[in-house]
């Protein structure tokens, strides 16, 4: 049966329900969001009064930060209502998602009402995080049971990529396959198939990990600040680490999940780990539940310097100033950029930090070994759940690979941590790792067949780093891979993936090699961001030393390289994600096609450091403004909109917003919902462009610039911003330089010019601004603190 999702009903408009509704609206689906009739309005016949509960919840979601939608324009896809008046409308929905309070009796009451209106074949799923799915299906019709399962989103649904799919014995396998595929392709999720066990996968392992840390902390006498220093980015975990994560999630929620596992998993060999420490019970009884009550493990207070975050002392139960922990091994590990090398080094350290890591790893590794096959038959699903749901950079089994499976098992047993029998069997067979890469495909050890198998669907999730055996060319920053099927792939690794001389060299060499040996080139990477922009540190040094000739050469090289991207004889496709700023944005603007992850934050931000886009970005916005001008509207309107995007350093907060801003081109560029698919989609686009008879574009000599008339209008607008207090004196200097370039200079009338003419104006303005003291102050501030100064 061919199934499509055009309309979704979300039952329950709380924090999760309203945000799930927003996420579906964001991908183009019509949404019916329902909740109870507002208390006190039961006798009213006015929809506004009866629907106040659901409407207020939706508005609160829309106003929340970070935004739950890719663009405010999608909100119109959401219709609100209440269970009494509008439940009948679910008859027109393709998928009904229940997100009501976590009580089995209430959920079953809702399902009884749903069955009155639901048309046969409609999907029904629950967002429960802990109630057994099979219990919710009891008493329902056969058709309901066949189309029912769990669909557990993580909060916030837009940003956390995990979607756990939990079938019951009655769920039709076709429904499971559909939801796994739909969640991946359309919702952009890492869809993980789970067994119907307490807390499913992510919360079972994640809460165990946190509770284990609590017990190890007590044993070793470590503080909250020390634990968060040890369990954050240093080992590939989020900045919120352990205790900040608990405050965000809610300490009561953490305790509830831990008690649920302890109560419902009587045979769990580590159930004592889920026992609640006395100090944790004290926090709950004091109603110190974290962010939701204003204090938990941390508390924000007002001090003479402003706001200060204090840490709870678990011995005295009093808050005090935060301490910056110092461990010798942590200091030694900081310069190590490779996460796996860092983890391996820390796990072997001889100080107290090393003692903590060994205790933590031994406890975690033992636990996950015993959860196979209880919670999942496949190890990669456990790792996928932890990475997508808890923000771990690498999963638990991959972490075990990192420190060495064979090397740790003996030490674990000596420390009293037993491993599951299948681990010993795996090692006895000669297999010494859970994962390996063969021909660019990732393989996992399957304990059922006792062999390695390819992770299903891996061909759609192309990872640059899996092609290390196919490096065509490299320098200290860049690697050019043979991605197969005649396509080359370029990635670079620098701080924040900034673009300097070696990256530009790599890009030029890669295009030359692709033109000679490949169908085309993909530009992307496996890191957290595409690129934070040009190397401003290099620009600052050249400017401060007044090496203007060398600076001119550097800017020319950047511009020429971007034009090389545009006018290569083979297609060049970029695959941006995360931060794609300044020079990173300019690179994408010059590509034949952009395959952007939905979560791409892209823009030309140079004005913030007192510069204008100097790598062809200004030129490109002028060119696009000229192409967008219509006879039925003033020409200056289009130019003004493009000017303001740069002048306000506006960053699109999603690929959808980038499309609306004109950074991505409708009908030419592509938004890829699942971030893991973007490089494979870019490769596919290269092949399609090549097979369609790709030819080198012709350089433009017909770019219409408006000259003096538009320049006067832009200057007037800039002066108005200054008079209104919205722009500083130096903002005015920079903005007028930008306006001059975008108008093509002080021309007496509109004129057609070449791209090179605009590039020359752009470069001259950029160099001029590099000589401004206030620009150098802004750059220096960014280099020191990460924030530009407003001067």
Residues 489-512 have pLDDT tens digits of 999 999 999 999 999 999 999 999
**Residue 184 buriedness (CB in 10 A; 0-12 / 13-18 / 19+):** buried
- Position 668 scores a pLDDT of 97
Give the pLDDT band (50/70/90) at residue 787: confident
Residues 181, 271, single domain; the answer is: no
- Read off the CATH number of the domain in which 470 is found: 3.90.226.10
Same domain, 163 and 220: no
569 — phi, psi (to 5°)?
A: -85, -5
Whether the pLDDT of residue 396 is over 80: the answer is yes
Report the C-alpha gap between 647 and 642 in whole angstroms. Answer: 9
- For the chain, the average pLDDT equals 96
What integer pLDDT is reported at residue 634 of this predicted model?
A: 79
Residue given tokens 């941390």 in the structure block: 298
60, pLDDT greater than 80: yes
Integer Cα distance of 324 and 314 in angstroms: 17
Q: Is residue 771 part of a domain?
A: no
> Among 193, 225, 244, which residue terminates a domain?
193
| pLDDT for position 303 | 75
294 lies in the same domain as 397: yes
Co-location of 103 and 138 in the same domain: yes
- Do 469 and 492 sit in the same domain of this protein? yes
Name the domain count of the chain.
3
Query: Residue range 608-615: average pLDDT?
Result: 97
* Whether residues 388 and 485 fall in one domain: no
Average pLDDT value for residue range 323-337: 93
The angle formed by the CA atoms of residues 651, 657 and 660, to the nearest 5 degrees, is: 110
pLDDT at 601: 98
Domain boundary among 171, 193, 215: 193
pLDDT band at 154 (very low <50, low <70, confident <90, very high): very high
Cβ neighbourhood burial of 716 (10 Å; 0-12, 13-18, 19+)? exposed
Rg (CA), the chain: 28
Is 241 part of a structural domain of the chain?
yes
- 728 strand-pairing partners: none
pLDDT number for residue 211: 97
Q: Is the pTM of this model over 0.85?
A: yes
Residue 64 has pLDDT above 90, yes or no: yes
Asked whether the predicted pLDDT for residue 1 surpasses 90, the reply is: no
Percent of the chain at pLDDT exceeding 70: 100
User: Residue 408 — very low, low, confident or very high, per pLDDT cuts 50/70/90?
Assistant: very high
pLDDT tens by residue, 587-606: 999 999 999 999 999 999 99
Residue-wise pLDDT tens digits, 532-579: 999 999 999 999 999 999 999 999 999 999 999 999 999 999 999 999
Lowest mean per-residue pLDDT among 299-308, 528-537, 774-783: 299-308
Burial of 676 (0-12, 13-18, 19+ CB in 10 A): buried
Residue 760: its pLDDT value, please? 98
- Same domain? For 176 and 242 the reply is no
pLDDT at 632 over 80: no
Q: What percent of the chain stands above pLDDT 90?
A: 94
Q: What number of other Cβ atoms are within 10 A of residue 323's Cβ?
A: 12
Note the pLDDT of residue 51.
Answer: 97
Cβ neighbour number for residue 463 with a 10 Å cutoff? 15
Are 215 and 261 contained in the same domain?
A: yes
Same domain for 394 and 369, yes or no, is yes
Does 213 lie in the same domain as 185?
no
pLDDT bracket for residue 660 (50, 70, 90): very high
Q: What is the mean pLDDT of residues 146-170?
A: 98
Q: Which CATH number does the domain housing residue 394 bear?
A: 1.10.1040.50
219 contact partners, CB below 8 Å, separation of at least 6 = 359
Please state, in angstroms and rounded to a whole number, the distance separating the CA atoms of residues 650 and 605. 7
Q: Give the HSE-up count for residue 293: Cα atoms under 13 Å, Cβ half-sphere.
A: 18
The predicted-structure confidence for 698-742, as pLDDT tens digits, reads as follows 999 999 999 998 999 999 999 999 999 999 999 999 999 999 999
Range of the domain at 500: 464-605+651-697
The residue-averaged pLDDT of 353-362 equals 98
**What is the predicted pLDDT for the residue at 635?**
78
Question: Mind listing the pLDDT tens digit for each residue in 444-492?
Answer: 999 999 999 999 988 889 999 899 999 999 999 999 999 999 999 999 9
Q: Are residues 557 and 686 in the same domain?
A: yes
pLDDT at residue 130, rounded to an integer: 86
Query: How is residue 329 written in tokens?
Result: 């091994």
Instruction: Identify the H or E element spanning 370.
Output: helix 352-371
Q: What is the mean pLDDT of residues 363-379?
A: 98
Residue 384 lies in a domain: yes
Q: Which of 640, 665, 697 is the endpoint of a domain?
A: 697
- Binning pLDDT at 50, 70 and 90, where does residue 302 land? confident
Q: Is the dihedral of CA 353, 357, 360, 362 positive or negative?
A: negative
């Amino acid at each position: 049966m061919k199934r499509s999702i055009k309309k979704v009903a979300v039952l329950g408009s709380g924090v999760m329900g309203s945000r799930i509704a927003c996420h579906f609206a964001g991908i183009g689906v019509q949404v019916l969001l329902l909740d109870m009739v507002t208390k006190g309005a039961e006798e009213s016949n006015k929809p506004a009064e009866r629907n106040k509960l659901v409407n207020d919840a939706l508005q609160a979601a829309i106003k929340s930060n970070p935004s739950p939608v890719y663009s405010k324009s999608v909100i119109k896809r959401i219709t609100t209502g209440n269970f009494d008046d509008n439940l009948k409308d679910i008859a027109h929905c393709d998928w009904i998602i229940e997100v009501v309070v976590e009580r089995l009796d209430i959920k079953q009451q809702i399902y009884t009402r749903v069955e009155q209106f639901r048309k046969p074949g409609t999907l029904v799923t629950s967002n429960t995080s802990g109630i057994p799915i099979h219990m919710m299906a009891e008493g329902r019709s056969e058709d309901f049971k066949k189309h029912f399962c769990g669909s557990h989103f993580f909060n916030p649904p837009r940003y956390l990529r995990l979607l756990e799919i939990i079938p019951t014995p009655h769920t039709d396998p076709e429904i499971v396959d559909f939801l796994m595929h739909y969640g991946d392709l359309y919702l952009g999720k890492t869809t993980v198939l789970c067994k119907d066990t307490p807390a499913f996968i992510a919360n079972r392992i994640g809460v165990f990990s946190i509770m284990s840390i609590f017990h190890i902390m007590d044993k070793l006498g470590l503080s909250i600040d020390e634990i968060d220093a040890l369990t954050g980015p240093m080992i590939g975990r989020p900045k919120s680490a352990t205790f900040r994560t608990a405050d965000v999630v809610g300490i009561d929620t953490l305790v509830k999940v831990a008690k649920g596992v302890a109560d419902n998993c009587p045979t769990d060999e580590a159930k004592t780990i889920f026992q609640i420490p006395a100090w944790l019970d004290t926090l709950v009884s004091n109603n110190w539940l974290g962010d939701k009550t204003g204090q938990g493990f941390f508390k924000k207070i007002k001090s003479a310097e402003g706001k200060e975050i204090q840490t709870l002392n678990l011995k005295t139960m009093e808050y005090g100033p935060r301490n910056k922990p110092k461990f010798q091994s942590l200091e030694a590990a900081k310069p190590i950029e490779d996460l796996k090398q860092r983890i391996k080094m820390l796990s072997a350290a001889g100080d107290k930090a090393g003692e903590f890591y060994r205790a933590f790893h031994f406890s975690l590794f033992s636990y996950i070994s015993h959860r196979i096959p209880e919670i999942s038959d496949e190890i990669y699903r456990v790792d996928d759940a932890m990475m997508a749901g808890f923000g771990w950079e690498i999963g638990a089994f991959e972490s075990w690979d990192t420190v060495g499976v064979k090397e740790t098992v003996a030490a674990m047993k000596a420390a009293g941590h037993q491993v599951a029998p299948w681990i010993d069997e795996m090692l006895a067979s000669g297999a010494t790792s859970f994962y390996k890469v063969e021909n660019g495909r990732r393989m996992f050890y399957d304990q059922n067949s006792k062999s390695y198998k390819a992770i299903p669907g891996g061909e759609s999730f192309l990872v640059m780093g899996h092609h290390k055996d196919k490096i065509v060319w490299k320098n200290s920053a860049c690697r050019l891979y043979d991605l197969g099927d005649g396509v080359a792939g370029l990635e670079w690794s620098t701080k924040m993936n900034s673009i300097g001389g070696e990256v530009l060299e790599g890009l030029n060499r890669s295009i030359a090699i692709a033109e000679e040996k490949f169908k085309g080139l993909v530009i992307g990477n496996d890191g957290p961001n595409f690129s934070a922009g040009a190397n401003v540190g290099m620009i600052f040094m050249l400017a401060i030393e007044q090496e203007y000739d060398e600076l001119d050469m550097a800017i020319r090289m950047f511009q020429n390289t971007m034009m090389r991207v545009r006018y290569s004889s083979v297609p060049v496709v970029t695959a941006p994600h995360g931060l794609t700023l300044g020079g990173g944005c300019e690179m994408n603007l010059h590509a034949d096609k952009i395959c952007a992850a939905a979560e791409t934050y892209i823009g030309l931000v140079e004005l913030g450091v007192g510069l204008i886009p100097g790598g062809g970005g200004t030129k490109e916005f002028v060119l696009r403004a000229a192409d967008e001008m219509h006879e039925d509207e003033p020409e200056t309107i289009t130019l003004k909109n493009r000017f303001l995007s740069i002048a306000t350093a506006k960053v699109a907060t999603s690929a959808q917003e980038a499309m609306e801003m004109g950074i991505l081109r409708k009908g030419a560029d592509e938004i890829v919902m699942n971030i893991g698919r973007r490089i494979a989609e870019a490769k596919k686009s290269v092949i399609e462009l090549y097979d369609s008879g790709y030819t080198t574009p012709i350089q433009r000599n017909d770019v219409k610039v408006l000259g003096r008339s538009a320049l006067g209008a832009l200057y007037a607008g800039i002066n108005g911003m200054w008079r209104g207090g919205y722009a500083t004196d130096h903002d005015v200097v920079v903005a007028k330089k930008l306006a001059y370039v975008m108008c093509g200079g002080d021309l007496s009338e509109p004129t057609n010019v070449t791209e090179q003419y605009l590039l020359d104006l752009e470069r001259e303005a950029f160099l001029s601004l590099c000589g401004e003291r206030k620009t150098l102050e802004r750059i220096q501030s960014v280099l020191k603190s990460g924030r530009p100064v407003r001067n």
